[in-house]
Every structure is written in structure tokens, then in C-alpha cells.
Amino acid sequence: MFTQHWQPKPVPSPLVDHELPHLSGIERAAEVFRFILNKLEHGLSPSGHLREFTKMNARIAIAIAIPVMMVAPLVTLGLAQVKGWVAILTSTMSSFVMFPLSVLLCILLVCGMIYIGRAILEMRVRSSRRDPYGY
């Protein structure tokens, strides 16, 4: 499969456009820029391997990027929904746990108050039975 798509063609040596002196300033700048890039490409890889390598990597990048760009927003939306549901479930479960604990705490506080009240009453009853003169 790799050799089927790998077909480098030799890069022709760059030539300057014969009408360069008659072009406008911007067109001349673009032509000089084109010539310099073509000369650089020809100098790096006259056999065309660099050009073919770049084309193949661009095709692979596009083949990977298009599905990712189409699927990534859906995955992000799904993860955001899951995050929202987890937050709702967490708050609900914490409410389910906190309510019985708060009821238990209230019951313990009432029992403690009753115990303390009984203890105070017993101390008063004992102190009233004592001999006031300490004999």
C-alpha cells in the first residue's frame, strides 16, 4: 500500500519568468518568492522524495483530522453531559446520606439533654436529703 502511493517525480530546476521586468511590484515579489522556494526545494531534494514525503504526510494528516474534527465535539458534549449527571447524582446521594445522619445527631442531642437533665435532678434530690448542718 505504501509503494502504491509513493511515486516521487524529479523536481525540475527552477527558471525565472521571462516577463519579470514587466510585472508589477507585488507580482515581481511573488515571482521571486516562488523562484526562491522552488530553488530551495530543488536544492534539498532534486529527485522529488521530499515533495512526495510532504504530500503523503499531508494526506495522512487530513485523513486523521477530518474524523477527529467531526467526532471530537460529540465526545466533548457527551463528557459534559456525564459530568452534569455525576454532579447531580453526587449531590442527591450526599443528601440521602446527610439526612439520616442529621436525624441521628438530633436524636443523640435530645437523648444527651435528657440524660443531663436527669443527672441534674438526681443531684438536687441528693443534696436536699443531706443534713444541712453536716453532722
Q: Which of 39, 53, 42, 58 is closest to 10 using CA atoms?
A: 42
pLDDT of res. 132: 61
Closest CA to 44 of 91, 18, 11: 11
State if pTM tops 0.85. Answer: no
For residue 70, is it within any domain? yes
In a domain, 71, yes or no: yes
- For the chain, the residue count is 135
In a domain, 80, yes or no: yes
Say how many domains are in the chain.
1
Q: Choose among 63, 83, 87: nearest CA to 1.
A: 63
- 62 within domain boundaries: yes
Domain span holding position 81: 2-98
Residue 78 within a domain: yes
Q: What is the pLDDT of residues 56-115, one digit of tens each?
A: 899 899 999 999 999 999 999 999 999 999 999 999 998 888 888 899 999 999 999 999
Residue-wise pLDDT tens digits, 23-69 = 888 988 998 898 998 888 888 888 888 888 888 899 899 999 999 99
